């Protein structure tokens, strides 16, 4: 009998459906680049970096960007200004995939989850609430997002141990982090950067944002708990939603790992170290630019260390690691395709054209309309630019004077920006972190969209209502 491959395996169906979606988006971006006029804003060095100069937009000659380059854009990304980020993300997910394969092969993750599940069997919804609140909290307070990817397999396995499906595991981990990132209280990357660029005190207005966070948490947890209860009513059949998902319990234990409990103890300490590093880097900002490589290194040590402590031979650890890396490689293609959408827009010279057109529309609105348009405009730009900081430098110099003209406070403009920046991260197929998490879970983007679109509409309605309330009370 052929030996089972350990670790994360991205199914052919999940890969090809996501591939087709991203290919359509690349072609759509190319059509826009070919048909919209090209233009450019001047940039100037500000107090916090290079910023767009309002009022300097002008048309420029259309760049020579042939259609065949739409299809080479995923490779060109590696040589663009986003190239280093792409390489770091790719190496990160390969290490996570390889390390997880060792944990899977040595039955360490299964043992770890069994210990947690045994202690919280009668209080599983309390655990669900605590875990969800934790992930939302670190996203909201510290701006954590990509760094939580190594914890996704643990959350998935924990969810399945309680009889819930893989989507509950994704919900309590990466989805919670993404929602917390947008329902920000003191997120330094969205709220912090936007407030500095808007010229208002850093992290001011936190009281209203605490209310926002609690409202979003209440809605999100109600949805997540309802999904978990539906899984329990359906029984074991619900776990078949993603049979190749990471963390799915398996019955076979390798003969070379007679003591997975020891490996589980090592892995537990490694996870605590991982969380400690995430919190330390986020709170102190020391080595912040190297946080992803540091976390990848810790998870690499966690994988090999847990396997060896569980008495798994080094040769088997290396073999499992290679199998895990191979299993995650299709996700690399999807990540490069997602990043190619922005590259096509920029190479076609229409990014600033889109900015100028939206500024004209927002400038003609007032009050509630301007706040809503800032939210929706940022929501649209988030499709192309995932980084909160990069988006703030691009948009806030344009949005701040428009908010002044519309008679709304700059605090409201910052809040609208934060809403638009974050929530859609967890539904847009151009977001690399979402694609990594879905790859880890073995879930296709269409399947994810089908499960979460109602929640996203609910959050959009809730946050839009909260934004209108901010305008009504003169939030400043």
pLDDT reading at 4 higher than 80 = no
Mean pLDDT of 369-380: 93
Among candidates 142, 102, 359, which has minimal Cα distance to 254? 102
Residue ranges per structural domain of the chain: 12-57+68-472
Helix (H) or strand (E) holding 186: none
Range of lowest pLDDT (133-137, 184-188, 239-243, 397-401): 239-243
Among candidates 190, 214, 216, which has minimal Cα distance to 202? 190
Reported confidence tier of residue 257, pLDDT bands at 50, 70, 90:
very low
pLDDT reading at 400 higher than 80 = yes
Q: Model confidence over 326-344: pLDDT tens digits?
A: 888 888 898 899 999 999 9
Residue with tokens 């190749």, as numbered in its chain: 244
Cβ-count burial 363-400 (b if 16+ within 10 Å, e if not): eebeeeebbbbbbbbbbebbbbbbebbbbbbbbbbbbb
Per DSSP, the three-state class of 46 is: strand
pLDDT reading at 102 higher than 80 = yes
Q: What residues pair up with 52 in beta bridges, in sequence order? A: 43
Is the Cβ–Cβ distance between 320 and 101 less than 8 Å?
Answer: yes
Reported confidence tier of residue 51, pLDDT bands at 50, 70, 90:
confident
Q: Is the pTM of this model over 0.95?
A: no
Residue 240: per-residue pLDDT: 42
Mean pLDDT of 56-85: 91
Q: Model confidence over 123-145: pLDDT tens digits?
A: 899 999 999 998 999 888 878 78
Residue with tokens 């694609």, as numbered in its chain: 435
Q: How many residues does the chain have?
A: 476
Mean pLDDT of 42-47: 77
- 10 Å Cβ neighbour count for 286? 10
């Amino acid at each position: 009998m052929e030996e089972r491959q350990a670790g994360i395996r991205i199914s052919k169906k999940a890969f090809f459906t996501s591939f087709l979606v991203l290919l359509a988006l690349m072609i759509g971006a190319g059509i826009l680049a070919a048909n919209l006029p090209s233009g450019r804003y001047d940039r100037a060095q500000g107090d916090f970096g290079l910023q767009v100069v309002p009022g300097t937009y002008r048309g420029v000659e259309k760049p020579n960007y042939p259609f065949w380059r739409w299809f080479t854009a995923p490779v060109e990304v590696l040589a663009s200004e986003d190239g280093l980020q792409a390489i770091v993300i790719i190496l990160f997910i390969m290490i996570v995939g390889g390390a997880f394969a060792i944990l899977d092969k040595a039955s360490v993750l299964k043992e770890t989850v069994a210990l947690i599940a045994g202690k919280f069997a009668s209080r599983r919804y309390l655990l669900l609430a605590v875990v969800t609140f934790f992930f939302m909290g670190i996203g909201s307070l510290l701006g954590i997002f990509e760094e939580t990817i190594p914890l996704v397999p643990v959350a998935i396995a924990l969810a399945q141990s309680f009889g819930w499906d893989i989507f509950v595991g994704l919900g309590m981990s990466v989805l919670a982090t993404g929602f917390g990132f947008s329902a920000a209280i003191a997120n330094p990357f969205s709220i912090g950067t936007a407030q500095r660029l808007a010229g208002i005190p850093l992290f001011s207005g936190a009281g209203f944002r605490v209310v926002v966070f609690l409202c979003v948490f209440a809605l999100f947890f109600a949805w997540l708990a309802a999904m978990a209860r539906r899984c329990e009513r359906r029984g074991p059949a619900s776990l078949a939603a993603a049979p190749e998902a990471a963390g799915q319990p398996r019955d076979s234990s390798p003969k070379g790992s007679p003591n997975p409990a020891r490996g589980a103890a090592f892995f537990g300490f490694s996870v605590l170290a991982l969380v400690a590093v995430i919190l330390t880097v986020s709170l102190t900002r020391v080595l912040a630019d190297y946080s992803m490589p540091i976390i990848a290194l810790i998870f690499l040590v966690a994988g090999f260390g847990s396997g060896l402590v569980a008495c798994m031979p080094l040769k088997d650890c290396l073999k499992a690691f290679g199998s895990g890396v191979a299993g995650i490689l299709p996700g690399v293609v999807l990540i490069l395709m997602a990043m190619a959408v922005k590259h096509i827009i920029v190479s076609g010279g229409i990014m600033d054209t889109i900015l100028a057109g939206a500024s004209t529309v927002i400038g003609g609105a007032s009050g509630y309309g301007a706040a809503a348009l800032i939210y929706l405009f940022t929501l649209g730009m988030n499709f192309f630019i995932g980084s909160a900081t990069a988006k703030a430098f691009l948009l806030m110099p344009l949005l701040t004077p428009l908010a002044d003209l519309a008679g709304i406070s700059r605090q409201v403009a910052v809040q609208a920006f934060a809403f638009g920046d974050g929530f859609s991260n967890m539904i847009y197929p151009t977001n690399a972190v979402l694609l990594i998490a879905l790859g880890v879970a073995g879930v296709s983007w269409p399947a994810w969209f089908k499960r979460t679109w109602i929640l996203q509409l609910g959050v959009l309605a809730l946050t839009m209502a909260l934004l209108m309330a901010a305008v009504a009370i003169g939030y400043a």
